[in-house]
Amino acid sequence: MYDWDVVIAGAGPAGLAAGMVFADSGLRTLVCEKKRLPLDKACGEGVMPPGAAVLQRLGIYELLPPGGFAPFQGIRFYSPAGRCASGVFREGPGLGIDRRILSKALAQRARSTAGLTMWEEAPVEGFDRESGSLRVQVKGETLSTRLLVGADGLHSRLRRLSGVHMACRRHNRWGIRQHFHVRPWSDFVEVYWAQGAEAYITPCGAEMVNVAFLWDADRQDGRAAGRSLFDSLMDKFPELRSRLDGAEPAGPPAAAGPLEQRAKSPIGDGVLLIGDAAGYLDARTGEGISIALAQALALQDTVVPLLCRQDGMLTAAELAGYLQVHRKIVRPYYLITGKVLALSRHPRMVEGAISLLSRFPGLFQRLLSMNMGPGW
């Protein structure tokens, strides 16, 4: 009766992980990606311990090339005045990995999953509801499905088409990143704070680091762009510049933003949003990939049983169980990230907070665990 049980828009970590969950349960699943794989993205490339554990469960680690990733033990903060505080993860190491390498491994695992089909250069162009099913327009074709999953990223088209996009925005924050050929000097993700910006250094290979900047666009010279923008942000962090002296860039910088995106709800009749498409606040706490993977795994217990025991399009009321789990997953992220964003606008408070964390590393560790949520 239906061409597919599930159609997924987007082949990032959220979309591919969701596709594996559905297909492993015997559901005919199609993943549609508007670009060619592997995908790249302006990303800090640090996967927090819960997300790293999910990647292990999915069998992704065994598909990664030697030297193509790096574990990290925690987070280290540097204040504008040079104070330092380190927090070690009690859940185990995180994973630093080039987004293209992660995308390639996830796609390889997805292609080996029975019941999962992937279409590249095939964007979802629209959909309508008809006679208890969804009619989805993909690359000139109309497909029928029982559930459409929007995993199409920060500026999700599905979020807008489904009518749940919210235009309100309190923060005008952006990010830019660039890779450098250099041996990582730390097994921590290092975070340097400055006025209106932060720098994030993630070890992501045996001879590679990712340098990412997040900044408030309202507090940065808007005339800078591309390479000049990256350099202007680097000027805020002289210690970091000296560490990278002589290091060769591995490709051009890539930027993304505005980072804050809101959705009224991640569910609707026949539609479900996961990952950045379901809403995003900021990259400051590094939880993006972990949250996306957690949401994908949550589909197993909340959505898969519905699709397996009944026919027809799933309604928003039937998806309420997923909504409850979704809220549980994202609540710590929004709470902690919101507080850190507020803190960053007060330099003296940043100094005080990092000084406090340096004296009480156990407190830092507990805060890191709170940010990662109660466990998935």
pLDDT score of 225 more than 80: no
Residue 374 — pLDDT band, cuts 50, 70, 90? low
pLDDT score of 227 more than 80: no
Which pLDDT score, from 0 to 100, does residue 99 have? 96
β-pair type (208-216, 173-181): antiparallel
Q: How far is CA 253 from CA 209, 214, 228, 229, 340, in A?
A: 13, 13, 10, 9, 26
Which pLDDT score, from 0 to 100, does residue 195 have? 85
Average pLDDT over residues 317-341: 95
The per-residue pLDDT for range 128-143, each reduced to its tens digit, is 998 778 999 999 899 9
- Give the count of beta carbons closer than 10 Å to the beta carbon of residue 272: 30
How far, in Å, CA of 81 to CA of 86, rounded?
A: 16
DSSP string, 27-83: --EEEE-SSPSSP------EE-HHHHHHHHHTT-GGGSPTTSEEEE-EEEEE-TT--
Are residues 70 and 206 in contact, defined by beta-carbon separation less than 8 angstroms?
Answer: yes
- What is the model's pTM? 0.94
Min mean pLDDT across 90-99, 158-167, 220-229 is at 220-229
- 3-class DSSP state for residue 228? helix
Element (H, E) at 361: helix 361-372
Which pLDDT score, from 0 to 100, does residue 376 have? 47
Through-space distance between the first and last CA atoms of the chain, rounded to whole angstroms: 35
Which pLDDT score, from 0 to 100, does residue 133 have? 81
How far, in Å, CA of 229 to CA of 213, rounded?
A: 10
- Please give the DSSP secondary-structure letter assigned to residue 365: H
Burial tier of 147 (Cβ tally within 10 Å: 0-12, 13-18, 19+)? buried
Question: Number of H helices and number of E strands within the chain?
Answer: 11, 21
The per-residue pLDDT for range 67-77, each reduced to its tens digit, is 999 999 999 99
How far, in Å, CA of 57 to CA of 23, rounded?
A: 16
Average pLDDT over residues 314-343: 94
Min mean pLDDT across 6-10, 75-79, 198-202, 218-222 is at 218-222
How far, in Å, CA of 371 to CA of 287, rounded?
A: 8
pLDDT score of 229 more than 50: yes
Domain boundaries, the chain: 4-169+259-372
Average pLDDT, the chain: 93
The per-residue pLDDT for range 6-64, each reduced to its tens digit, is 999 999 999 999 999 999 999 999 999 999 999 999 999 999 999 999 999 999 999 99
How far, in Å, CA of 158 to CA of 136, rounded?
A: 11
Q: Which CATH architecture has domain 4-169+259-372?
A: 3-Layer(bba) Sandwich (3.50)
Beta partners for 147? 6
